[in-house]
Amino acid sequence: MGRSGIGGGPSRGSGGGSGGSRGSIGHRSGTGRSGVNHNNFSAGRIPNFRAFRPPRPYVHLGGYGSPHIHIHAGGNGGNSPITIAIAIIVFALIFIIPVSPFFSSSISNNITPSTIKREPLPAGSAIETAYYEDTAGWISNPGQMEAGMKLFYQKTGVQPFIYITEEVDGSRDPSSAQMEEFSNTLYDELFDDEAHLLVVLQDADGHYFTWFITGAQAKQVIDNEAVSILSDYIDRYYYDASLSSEEFISKSFESAADRIMSKTINPLVIIAVVSGIVIVIAIFAVVTVKKINERKRQDEQMERILNSDLNDMAKDPAIQNLENKYSDRS
């Protein structure tokens, strides 16, 4: 068996309370799962931008073997410095910034940002136990599921435990009060320390309900924001039909640990920094191309002068004016 229905997206409600000094909060999924939208973005694929072709520089030898660089950007203004600057900026905005690992991690869709830097619990804070109990018959490959959970434990110092069930107190649609009471009682039955994170996942009839109990010590790392991050990843991967139950759970814990234990960078800061760098590069490119074009113009003028007939040069109005100027002085 597995998740009760792969198809829709979550519409979460939440409830919360306190079990002594522990953290206690729950999230309920939406109902109906008859059509997962596997578009390119939700599947994590990068859109195809082949229609856009950035300017391609090429080098050729001009008069007297001096190199000339031309940047072809299409249209009538292919060598315009402004065109070049615009092309560089557009290229960066389309290709460089979106694929930046910092930018990508910062704008993960629908994932709560991590606003503080957290330190893991000291080694040995948790008395290591099993990692799961499955009363719904989901798990056939425990090692695959536990891989991500063990990474979570390694990075946070908090040992996670997931309890998978179809019913809580005999109900397939338990209330928040039932989930909280059941989860707190289960924590006391399972653990002898306050360094565990218990996740109760109740799944039945096309919807699921998760409740999170964090031990009093575990709360130093897995605060409400951290719980929201884990819950968001559970929502994301639960509805991914390409993942098995083991993969979805493992990936949820692994991704959550990475985000929880680092401070999410504001994407606007990344855009501002990268944009500043791009602008500097664009200005440098404009100045360089201007100098190259000016050098080219001078070389062409020198070549024209050297290849011109002396009689033709004498008829040049500029030369005649220069001659008249010095004749008048004498």
Question: What tens digit of pLDDT does each residue of 44-77 get?
Answer: 323 333 333 344 444 444 444 444 444 444 444 4
Q: Which domains does the chain have, with CATH numbers?
A: 13-41+109-260 (3.10.310.50), 56-101+267-329 (no CATH)
User: In whole angstroms, how far apart are CA 164 and each of 80, 116, 133, 142?
Assistant: 64, 30, 6, 13
Question: Distance between CA atoms of 127 and 100, rounded to whole angstroms?
Answer: 39
∠ CA 6-11-12, rounded to 5° = 110
Tell me how long the chain is.
330
Residue 295, burial from CB neighbour count under 10 angstroms (0-12, 13-18, 19+)? middle
pTM for the structure as a whole: 0.60
Using pLDDT thresholds of 50, 70 and 90, give the confidence band for residue 27. confident
Give the pLDDT confidence score for residue 106 in this predicted structure.
46
Beta bridge mates, 196: 159
Closest CA to 260 of 197, 179, 192, 187: 197
Using pLDDT thresholds of 50, 70 and 90, give the confidence band for residue 303. confident
- How much is the mean pLDDT over the chain? 76
93-103: b or e for each residue (b if 16 or more CB lie within 10 Å)? eeeebeeeeeb
Owner of token pair 């179809």: 166
Owner of token pair 């002396």: 310
Neighbours of 77 (CB within 10 A): 12
pLDDT tens for residues 260-296? 999 987 555 445 556 677 677 777 777 787 788 888 8
Task: Give the DSSP letter of residue 194.
Answer: S
